[in-house]
Every structure is written in structure tokens, then in C-alpha cells.
Structure 1
């Protein structure tokens, strides 16, 4: 990691696993500042109509402007379902609007998964999704469009982000490990409402392959956009950060 100070901003919907970000900042060290702004969630529901509202430009623009005032170097819309539900082109337009409001490069967690999978050379993946299956299938379509083959999809069927945020680490680890696939190069765990900082080491140790979680890839994507992707080992941040291949 460069020692030049860098600040990355995150637009985070509601309240569920936002405490992941201070933990990631601790692991990254003093040269990184992760700034988080909570965005409006009129209805907490893993339904397509509610997710389209959560990721609407009218909802994200005020937060992006707030991050602009804080002087961040890049911004990530830290919501997987609230980005991929728009489809590839819609998610691209969403990120562009956030970037214009923030005045810096911007992306979303959905694109972060695609870029992280490519950086690690993951061609075939399994997905352990907390969402209902109809929502999870939209993530499959998004990844497929981005050039990553999905060989297995598991859906836990949780209806709200708030409920996902209450899953303890043991339940989260068990869910991810149980839904690996022998043909998968890695396992993807969408949903920024799921606490991930405390489980990455456990699941990667048990599976013996890379695991990408939503808040983890969001942080990585923000650093990538800011030109500060770590190139040295970072214990606790998963293979994405630890191997150095994440600098690809």
C-alpha cells in the first residue's frame, strides 16, 4: 500500500453491517480513511421494486454530494442488490451519476465483484446469497454479463437487510462453506448487510479458495479507483488483498 493518504467514500443503505468499515480501515492502516454516508431506505425489503427505489438517483445524489464536500478520492455505492437490480447498463448509469455528483471516480459493489473476480482470475464461481432467489438470479445475470460463469447458486431467502445484519459469524461461515462447489474457483457472497470482516479468514481457511464478500470488495474497489490498491500482504482482508494479485 502506498503511504500517500487516501480517502474513499461509501454510500451505505440504512443500518446493518456498517461496522465492517471501521474494521477494514483498522486492517488497512493509517494511510487509508474510509468515510461512510448512510442513504435513505424507504422500505427495507429484498424485492425488486424496493431495491430500485433504494438505488435511485434521487436517493444517492445527496449522499454523493456530502462525500464530495468531505474531499474523498473515490466513491462506491456499497449495495450489491441496489445496483445489479438495474442491470448492467442501468448500474453503469447509476455509477456515472454518483461520480458526477461526487466529482470523483465512482463504482458500485456489483461492479466491484466483477472486477475483483477478474483480478483474481476467477473464471467459475459459486454464489452464496442471502437474498430471495429471484433477486439472487439477477446477480447471476450481472456476473454472466461481466464474463464470470456461475456454476452454483444458493439462496438463503432473507427478506430484509436488517435480518441479514443479525446473522452471527458462525451462521454466516456455515452458510458460505455449505454452498461451495467443487467446480468453482471461488465463492462470492453478495449483500453489504452481511458482516464479512470477521469471517473471511475462517471461510477461506475451510474452503481453501478465495472468498469475495460485499463489503470487502467495496473497499477494494474504492481503493482501486483511488489508485491505491494494496500490493503487499494484508492479513485479515482475504485473498483479494493478501496475494497482491488484487493489483491487477
Structure 2
């Protein structure tokens, strides 16, 4: 049976979406979570840093922050001409302090030919956007890596009022929401204006809104901040119903 579609019914082409390059660590398992913040007008394109046969440790995250590796992964995406790039690795971008974070962002920009944003830089941008200067910190890392995050925040002028960590060295993406929610509650204090949840491999999307309502303050997660920042760079709004960073005072 022949088709009844006429020549005028054929679409002129697929919808044009703003390309965004994402450089992820080799063990990133939450690509799908990042997509949840993305509006229909944008598309994510991923490249990964080289595989490291190591547990999540200070040694590993220092290697993840290696500028040569970040540049190499960024160059894998250059042909599709992203409008902006994100380095979706929190620990790899804070482990060498503010200078290391700036160097990682510069590597993205120089290798990719478009603005670059890091996960830890995005957290600082989110805190600045909300005018927050005192935070509690929740991480899945060990104490040594978590201490590097505290130093990074303090160096940027953000006071840390309390810290809790899970002391994990692998498979952060398998942590149940209930365990992460308890971690955030334990990190919280009356002095904290917001709670920073580190690690782009720790699922947070569905926790943010209910915990913000419960605790009465913003929850800034690494993936949320990263996607908010890179989409803002592209002139687009992130999708996060009820999340304070994305919809201050609204739903």
C-alpha cells in the first residue's frame, strides 16, 4: 500500500538544538541525570577522561584534574562545535584549589574554542548567584578529599559550618536516595545558609526539592549547579521544578 504523504509533508530537517560539550570522568555513571536538567532546546555530547584503574582516592582525583587529560577529552568534542563546555567532575576541579579550577576551565575553553565551566566553579557561581556565604557540606568521599573541598570553598570566601561524608571509594552512583538524604540532614546546621552536595556521580535530582522544603534552605548539588551554569552560559534555563537555584521562590 503506498504512502499518502505528500512532498509538502516532509520535515525540512531535525530540530536544531544548542550543542553542549560535557567532559566527564572515566567512571561517570549519571549521564541520564544530567539530561534531566536540559531543556528541549539543548543537547549534551559527552567525552570521558582516560580510564584510571584506581579507587576514588586523593591520588585518583588529582589525576582526574590533570590539565592534559582535560584538554584531550575536550578535543574529542570540538568537531561538533559546542557552544559551551562543562567539566563534570567536582573533585577533579577542586582538588588543586582555586588556581587548579581556573586552569581546568581555561583548558576547556582553549581546547574547545568555547567557554568552559567546571563543576566546582559552577557551585561557587551558584552560591554567588544566591548570595550565600555559609554552607554545610555533604560528600560521598573520604575525609582527605572532603578536606580539599572545604579548603577550596574557604579559599573562595565561603565559610563551612559543618561536614559529613560517606567515606566511599567507588560506585557512588549506587547510593540510595534515603542514605544521601540522611547525609544531607546530618550535615545541616542552623548556621548554614545552604547545603552543598558534592560529586557528580552521586544522584540528587529527586532529593533537592523535598529536602529544600524540609530544611528550609537551598540544596546545591554538583550536577544541578553544573547544568545550571553551563545552560546559563548558553542563554538557556535549566529544568528543575521546585529547585530554588533554578526557580527562586517558585515551583
TM-score by structure 1 length?
A: 0.87
1:109-144 Cα offsets, whole Å, 9 max, x none, are 111111100101111100011111111111111111
User: Where in structure 2 are there 5+ consecutive unaligned residues?
Assistant: 1-15
Who is 2:202 aligned against? 194
The residue aligned with 1:168 is 176
3-state SS of 2:236 partner: coil
Which residue does the alignment assign to 1:30?
40
Contact 1:11–1:63 (CA under 8 A) maintained in structure 2: yes
Give matches, 1:176-191, under 5 Å. Answer: 176-191=184-199
Count of residues paired in the alignment = 234
Structure 1: state its 5+ residue gaps: none
Counterpart for residue 95 of structure 1: 105
User: Which residue does the alignment assign to 2:33?
Assistant: 20
State the 1:43 CA deviation: 3.1
Q: How big is the alpha-carbon RMSD for the aligned residues of Structure 1 and Structure 2?
A: 2.0
**Of 228, 231, 243, the match for 1:238:** 243
Superimposed CA distance per residue, residues 66-123 of structure 1 (whole angstroms, 9 cap, x where no aligned partner): 2221221111111110111111112211221121111101021111111100101111
Alpha-carbon distance between aligned partners in 1 of 2:47 and 2:191, rounded to the nearest angstrom = 38
Query: In structure 2, the residue corresponding to 1:198 is in which secondary structure?
Result: helix
Give the Cα separation in 2 of the matches to 1:112 and 1:41.
24
CA distance in 1, matches of 2:131, 2:21: 27
TM-score by length of 2: 0.86
Superposed counterparts of 1:1-248, under 5 Å: 5-13=17-25, 14-25=27-38, 29-160=39-170, 162=171, 164-229=172-237, 234-236=239-241, 238-243=243-248
